[in-house]
């Protein structure tokens, strides 16, 4: 708990003028009809300059669009603007002279007390408050407590608040959406990239680093440095597509083989398209890189099996034809010997005029 005493001239103000009185009226009274310096007037009664100081704070507080209040070092509200008072379903006049603990409630006061103590010791505080307020809603406030210093002495604390409830809700929603997008990209093995042609800035999503096997601590590989991650043939095709995108804005999609630094190989489908500025000039290329290794390997394996099957079929057909010719020759030989041909070749087409299916 803060043990610093509030300057006695501020206490004098609090005791002399009721909550509804304006400091401007106090200052005018002091200027136009100075009080006599007799025994009834404290030795530390405020000077016109001190009253003017407090009035300056009143002007700042009243004019601020954000919730703003000025506390003394005993944590009583000297000034509050309507925006601050509205948070606590009150008015500036109703808050004046009241302890901040009474206004915010015990639970919230316990949270903010360390910040009040440090601010009253001269250290500006910036923190987030999350608490329920008289409107029944949970609010998130960005709070700043600044020590008010005049002539080397801390006169009080200026409190400014900014309601960031909607912003926090938006940030939470964005964080959830981003996480969902990252999870979707991870499951689909899709990474996104962007290349600003004017600034040369490149951005990669996490999935592209994983696909290429690049250290995430490194910046994205710029064009054409990224060629190191592709086989020469694949890079030639991809680079040609990228150049068309830069020159004419043509979208592209092509498969390419990746060679990772550890020697591993992956297959990707690279897609890209151009974005134009207000003048129709191509300013940005962006797109995706999708790891299709499993699908590509399955396709290559299927193609290889088809080739093997085709070779087997050709060999089988060749052997079958050889057997048919051999059977035909045996049938012809048996007929020449006056014997019945042993093989039924009636399913074969006629060999020509005067010929038979079995070659006789």
Residue 174 lies in a domain: no
Q: What is the DSSP letter of 306?
A: H
Residue 60 confidence (pLDDT): 61
Of 238, 272, 291, at which residue does a domain stop?
291
In this prediction, residues 334-346 reach a mean pLDDT of 84
- Specify the number of domains making up the chain: 3
More confident residue, 20 or 279: 279
Residue 30 confidence (pLDDT): 41
Q: Is 90 exceeded by the pLDDT of residue 63?
A: no
157/27 same-domain check: yes
* Residue range(s) defining the domain that contains residue 327: 294-360
Return mean pLDDT, the chain: 78
More confident residue, 248 or 41: 248
Residue 353 lies in a domain: yes
Residue 2 confidence (pLDDT): 54
Of 291, 309, 327, at which residue does a domain stop?
291
Residue 330 lies in a domain: yes
- Report residue 181: phi and psi, to 5°: -65, -45
More confident residue, 316 or 267: 267
Residue 176 lies in a domain: no
299/287 same-domain check: no
Residue 168 lies in a domain: no
272/155 same-domain check: no
pLDDT in tens, 91-111: 888 998 899 999 988 888 999
283/302 same-domain check: no
286/317 same-domain check: no
d(CA 10, CA 5): 10
Element containing residue 143 per DSSP (H, E): strand 138-150
219/302 same-domain check: no
299/267 same-domain check: no
Residue 89 confidence (pLDDT): 87
Element containing residue 283 per DSSP (H, E): strand 282-291
Q: Is 80 exceeded by the pLDDT of residue 23?
A: no
125/246 same-domain check: no
Residue 175 lies in a domain: no
46/155 same-domain check: yes
Tokens for 257? 């083989």
Which band of pLDDT confidence, cut at 50, 70 and 90, is reported for residue 271?
very high
Of 163, 179, 212, at which residue does a domain stop?
163
In sequence order, which ranges of the chain are alpha helices (DSSP H)?
A: 8-16, 23-32, 48-63, 82-87, 92-95, 100-104, 106-120, 165-188, 206-212, 232-248, 293-336
Residue 64 confidence (pLDDT): 57
The answer to whether the beta carbons of residues 204 and 223 sit under 8 Å apart is no
Entry pTM: 0.44
Burial of 93 (0-12, 13-18, 19+ CB in 10 A): middle
Q: Which CATH number fits the domain that encloses residue 106?
A: 3.30.450.20
305/233 same-domain check: no
305/243 same-domain check: no
Tokens for 39? 């025994």
Residue 173 lies in a domain: no
Which band of pLDDT confidence, cut at 50, 70 and 90, is reported for residue 35?
very low
Residue 55 lies in a domain: yes
Residue 212 confidence (pLDDT): 93
Q: Is 80 exceeded by the pLDDT of residue 311?
A: no
152/29 same-domain check: yes
């Amino acid at each position: 708990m803060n043990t610093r005493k509030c300057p006695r001239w501020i206490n004098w103000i609090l005791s002399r003028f009721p909550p509804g009185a304006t400091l401007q009226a106090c200052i005018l009274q002091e200027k136009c009809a100075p009080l006599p310096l007799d025994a009834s007037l404290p030795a530390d009664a405020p000077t016109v300059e001190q009253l003017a100081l407090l009035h300056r704070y009143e002007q700042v507080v009243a004019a601020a669009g954000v919730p703003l209040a000025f506390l003394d070092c005993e944590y009583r509200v000297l000034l509050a603007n309507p925006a601050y008072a509205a948070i606590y379903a009150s008015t500036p006049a109703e808050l004046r002279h009241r302890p901040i603990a009474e206004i915010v409630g015990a639970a919230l006061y316990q949270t903010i007390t360390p910040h009040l103590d440090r601010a009253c010791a001269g250290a500006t505080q910036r923190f987030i408050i999350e608490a329920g307020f008289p409107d029944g809603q949970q609010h998130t406030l960005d709070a700043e407590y600044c020590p008010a210093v005049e002539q080397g002495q801390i006169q009080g604390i200026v409190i400014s608040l900014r309601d960031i409830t909607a912003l926090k809700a938006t940030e939470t929603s964005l964080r959830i959406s981003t996480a969902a997008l990252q999870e979707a990209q991870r499951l689909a093995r899709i990474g996104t990239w962007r290349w600003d042609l004017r600034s040369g800035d490149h951005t990669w999503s996490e999935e592209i680093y994983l696909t290429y096997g690049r250290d995430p601590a490194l910046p994205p590989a710029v064009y054409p440095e990224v060629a190191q991650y592709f086989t020469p043939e694949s890079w030639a095709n991809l680079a040609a597509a990228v150049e068309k995108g830069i020159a004419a804005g043509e979208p592209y999609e092509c498969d390419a083989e990746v060679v990772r630094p550890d020697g591993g190989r992956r297959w990707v489908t690279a897609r890209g398209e151009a974005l134009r500025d207000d003048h129709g000039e191509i300013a940005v290329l962006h797109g995706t890189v999708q790891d299709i290794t499993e699908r590509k390997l399955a396709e290559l394996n299927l193609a290889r099996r088809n080739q093997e099957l085709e070779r087997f079929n050709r060999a089988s057909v060749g052997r079958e034809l050889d057997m048919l010719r051999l059977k035909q020759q045996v049938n012809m030989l048996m007929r020449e010997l006056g014997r019945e041909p042993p093989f039924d070749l009636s399913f074969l087409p006629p060999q020509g005029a005067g010929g038979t299916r079995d070659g006789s």
